Amino acid sequence: MTVETLLLVAAALFGIGVYGALSQQSFVMIMMGLELMLSGAILATGTLWAMAAGGTPKGQLLAIVLVTVMAVEMAIGFALVVNVYRIRKADITEKLKTLRG
Amino acid sequence: MTDVLFWIMSGISVLSAWRVFRTDSMVRAAYWLMVSFAAVAVILVLLSAEFLGLVLLLMLAGEMTIMAVFMVMFMMNPAGLNPMTMVHQHRAAIAAGVLSFLGLGAVGVFGRFPAGVSFATRDVTARLGMELLNDSMLIFQTAGVTLLATMIGALAIASRRGRYGLADEDSIEPAVENSQNAGEGPPSTEKGSA
């Protein structure tokens, strides 16, 4: 468990998230890809906090902000999915050709 | 011991993250994602960021359950009874994922970090609590207010009935026959009045 291996794991999570967010058609699966990217970012932040920043408590605040971002993204994303489904009956990206409501 | 646990957990997190996009059932995808997050949380606890790991675990347990319910509500094939590949631009997406992994991994492997590899001491959670409620209270409070604003905004977006009537009343997708009707609208009303 070194900085390098931990950052490699974080990079792998981020890469899988990028793949998922770009390739999936379903809105909820795209959100899963975004969540994976954020979890890779949280892991990298925790790694650098613990192993490079000396473990001072201030370093964890960035990770707390990232967790908040994750919750916000999830809530707003689900609200948008509900609204888009209600108005346009669309649950995959291919059904949304225009942004007009 | 810690190393063995770290390798097991990182393997679980990466493999289950990969399984998220390779399973036919979307509910199973949600639960694979939860497994991946749980493994990340365990790694954070191993890094003695206990507060962060447990907060992540608590949040994700609820979140993934909601996500599974959403899958059942909205998706045409939630149970994975039919094989399903719902992807677009697959090769470009794979290339982007591999590229970002290589780039970030290169930063991790070849980057130079401060050499002070010091595991945090035992009372790190207590010190974090004091930090959150003393000097860094503004950050903590901002996160709380942000979450409150998010709740209100999510309700406003998702509620069917807005302040000025039905939210979807005048927002049907423009279809071909609709535009034709709109074009022929005024003459027909003139005929009707005449």
What is the residue extent of each domain of chain B?
Answer: 1-79, 124-159
pLDDT attached to residue B36: 93
* CA-closest candidate to residue A29, choices B41, B36, B27: B27
Token reading at B85:
């590949």
More confident residue, B69 or B100: B100
Q: Give whole-number Cα distances, B159 to A65, B162, B166, B175, in Å.
A: 27, 7, 9, 25
| Alpha carbon distance A60, B51 (integer Å) | 9
Per DSSP, what are the bridge partners of residue A24? Answer: B87
State the virtual CA torsion across A6, A24, B25, B79 in degrees, nearest 10.
150
Instruction: Give the best-scoring range by mean pLDDT among A52-56, B90-94, B183-187.
Output: B90-94
Determine the average pLDDT of the residues in B16-38: 86
Q: How far apart are CA A26 and CA A90, in angstroms?
A: 9
Select from A91, A17, A61, A78 the least CA-distant residue to B64. Answer: A78
Average pLDDT, chain B: 78
Structure tokens at A88: 């346009």
- Contact between A4 and B109 using a beta-carbon 8 Å cutoff: yes
- Which residue in the set B66, B124, B167 is minimally distant from A57, CB to CB? B124
| Residue of A3, A16, A92 to mutate when probing chain B, most B C-beta within 10 A | A16
* Average pLDDT, integer, range B168-185: 52
Q: Which residues of A touch B147 (CB under 8 A)?
A: 68, 71-72
* pLDDT average, residue stretch B106-124: 72
Averaged over B121-143, what is the pLDDT?
Answer: 84
Answer whether A43's CB lies under 8 Å from B40's CB.
yes
- Does A62 contact chain B (CB < 8 Å)? no
Enumerate domains of chain A plus CATH numbers: 3-95 (1.10.287.3510)
The 10s digit of each residue's pLDDT in A48-75 is: 888 776 667 788 888 889 999 999 998 8
Cβ contact, residue pair A79, B97, below 8 Å:
no
Say what percent of chain A tops pLDDT 90.
Answer: 34
Fold observed for domain B1-79: Four Helix Bundle (Hemerythrin (Met), subunit A) (1.20.120)
Q: In degrees rounded to 5, what are phi and psi of residue B189?
A: -70, -35
Which of A27-31, A87-91, B149-153 shows the highest mean pLDDT?
B149-153
Q: Are residues A15 and B154, on separate chains, in Cβ contact within 8 Å?
A: no
Residue from A92, A37, A48 nearest B97 by CA = A37
Q: Phi, psi at residue A26, to the nearest 5°?
A: -75, 140
Interface of B with A in 82-111 (CB under 8 A): 86-90, 92-94, 96-105, 107-109, 111
**Contact status of B56 with chain A (Cβ, < 8 Å):** yes
The pLDDT of residue B85: 64
Cβ–Cβ below 8 Å for B108 and A11: yes
CB B11 within 8 A of CB A14: no
B101 within 8 A of A40, measured Cβ to Cβ: no
What is the structure's pLDDT at B118? 57
Q: Where would I find the H helices in chain B?
A: 2-20, 26-46, 50-74, 90-110, 124-133, 137-158, 176-193
CA separation for the pair B164, B148 (Å, rounded)? 23
- A15 in contact with B at a CB cutoff of 8 Å? yes
> Measured between CB atoms, which of B21, B101, B157 is closest to A24?
B21
Q: What are phi and psi of B175, to 5 degrees?
A: -105, 170
- Residues belonging to chain A: 101
Q: Does A87 score more than 50 pLDDT? A: yes
Q: Would you say residue B6 has pLDDT above 70?
A: yes
User: What does chain B come to in residues?
Assistant: 194
CB contact under 8 A, A25 and B87: yes
